[in-house]
Amino acid sequence: MTHASPAPVVRAKDLARFYGDVVGVCDLTVDIPPGTVGLLGPTGAGKSTFLKLLAGELKPSRGSIEVLGAPPFANPAVHSRLGFCPQQDALWDDMTALEFVEFLLRLSGFEPARARKAALVALERVQLVDAKDRRLGGFSKGMRQRARIAQSIAHEPQLVVLDEPLTGLDPLARHATLELFRQLAAEGASVLFSTHVLHEVEALTTNVVLLHRGRLLARGEVPAIRALLDRHPRRYSIQAREPRRLARELVELEGVEAVRIAEGGMLVVETRQPERLLEALPAIASAARAGIGAFESRDEGLEAVFDYLMGGST
């Protein structure tokens, strides 16, 4: 017996969107399955453009996009089943949080009593119910972000699309928001959210779409993406009292591809087996009496890794 895979919630084919000469997204063909999916990419990768096309805020310059089986631009049938949390920090500052969510629910076709009830539930879910009667203009950045999330989930949409939803949230609110996304997924909603931080995606889902410079870099499970990333030699900086002596020892270590001494005597090590380096370094440093002062990864920025992958894929 074979199982048909569920119909994708988003289907983009040769999708392109240009802003004059600037590429937003280009030749993007991707099917996004139901469930929780992270849209990952460095700043300027085209994540927001893709999400705006997906939400129906923008029209494609070329190609096509279908959301829940229909083109999203100016399509009320799609918008009734879609919740969108934009990245821009824009709200009607004179409204209270409750008025804001309630008004948008009324526009979604909710009767007044039901709209009030659903708005309170949504504000409760983002922990804003205590501030429901305060004007949005007086909210902190994190609270404003949560108000935006509340309006996107209040009408219980089939697909929730969130553009950088964790930006501006403090660690507690971030944790609570990730938990909210888990609950939404458990309730059967599909959640698609963008971020440029890999571990935020990993905390929530194994399913990711990687964008870079407007193009699809990879789509699939996080372990596969991780494996892809592992093809990239990792770089570490080591500050040592005796860098030359340490370099001589490290170059013999399995997986180490290059060792050089940078300006200021800093040792830069490139390895394809970072775990092996981290495991062996204390013993090597001790045996060589190298005296390690500082140790840090030079590949923190996703941009560097993505640049490498793009270079490797072309």
Residues contributing to the site for another protein (CB under 8 A): 19, 48, 55-59, 73-74, 76-77, 79-80, 82, 84, 86-88, 90-92, 94-95, 103-104, 106-110, 151, 155
Q: How is residue 95 annotated by DSSP?
A: S
- List the structure tokens of 210: 């990687």
Closest CA to 112 of 98, 124, 127, 125: 98
The CA distance from 22 to 45, in Å, is 12
Residue closer to another protein (CB basis): 191 or 225: 191
Question: In 108-235, which ranges are continuous DSSP H helix?
Answer: 112-125, 141-153, 171-186, 198-202, 222-230
Residue closer to another protein (CB basis): 93 or 130: 93
Residue closer to another protein (CB basis): 48 or 205: 48
Q: Minimum Å distance from CB 212 to another protein?
A: 18
Residue closer to another protein (CB basis): 102 or 200: 102
Q: Minimum Å distance from CB 121 to another protein?
A: 17
Angle at 77 between CA 210 and CA 116, to 5 degrees: 95
Q: Minimum Å distance from CB 89 to another protein?
A: 8
Residue closer to another protein (CB basis): 82 or 131: 82
The CA distance from 147 to 167, in Å, is 13
Q: Minimum Å distance from CB 75 to another protein?
A: 9
- List the structure tokens of 263: 């300006």
The CA distance from 256 to 289, in Å, is 20
Q: Minimum Å distance from CB 169 to another protein?
A: 16
